[in-house]
Amino acid sequence: MRHLILPLALAAIALPAVAGPGPVTIQLKGPAGQDMGSATLTEAPHGLVLRVTAKGLTPGWHGLHFHEKADCSSADFKSAGGHMHHDMPVQHGLLNPAANETGDLPNLYAAADGTAMAEVFTPSVSLSTVDRAPLLDADGSALVIHASPDDHSSQPIGGAGARVACAVIKAP
């Protein structure tokens, strides 16, 4: 019986590592480096929960996407690269019958005062597992808010327009 206790104890210690990294909070910045809110990424058994709290947006709908690089250094945020795509076709749009990119997310709505809050789930990405697109890969990724709504089908970005806020997602 004693020979089973050590392996069981080691397995219990290792269980949190199997679940993946804990929640990751990232800071949204505007083109001039101003604070535009934050987002929390929480690993779920079959995807990722994203909770966004933003401010300083124009009222209305805004495209929201995961981009391929953890780089928000340019004022237009083009340094973050294009939308993430992992083992999926490189076709944009949640409503596209040819599939969607792993970085595609629902739109974010900003109220009249420019604030926005949302919580969405995506089965396409993960913080670090390789069976879904890992946000914390070697070059990290970014969360980007666009100026206009995403129509979820037009190529290449659903008509979402300029990038107005960006948050770096990278391993600590």
Give the domain ranges of the chain.
Answer: 20-169
The CATH superfamily assigned to 20-169 is Superoxide dismutase, copper/zinc binding domain (2.60.40.200)
Is the predicted pLDDT of residue 83 greater than 50, yes or no?
yes
CB neighbour class for 37 (10 Å; exposed up to 12, middle 13-18, buried from 19): buried
Per-residue pLDDT tens for 32-82?
999 999 999 999 999 999 999 999 999 999 999 999 999 999 999 999 988
pLDDT at res. 58: 97
Q: pLDDT band for position 20 (50/70/90)?
A: low
Six-digit token string for 13: 């210690």
**Cβ(62)–Cβ(110) below 8 Å:** yes
Six-digit token string for 60: 């209305």
Q: pLDDT band for position 155 (50/70/90)?
A: confident
Give Cβ neighbours of residue 79 (< 8 Å, ≥ 6 apart).
69, 71, 72, 73
List of E strands, the chain:
24-29, 35-44, 47-54, 60-62, 64-67, 108-110, 116-122, 125-126, 133-134, 141-146, 163-169
For residues 146 and 3, the model is more confident at 146
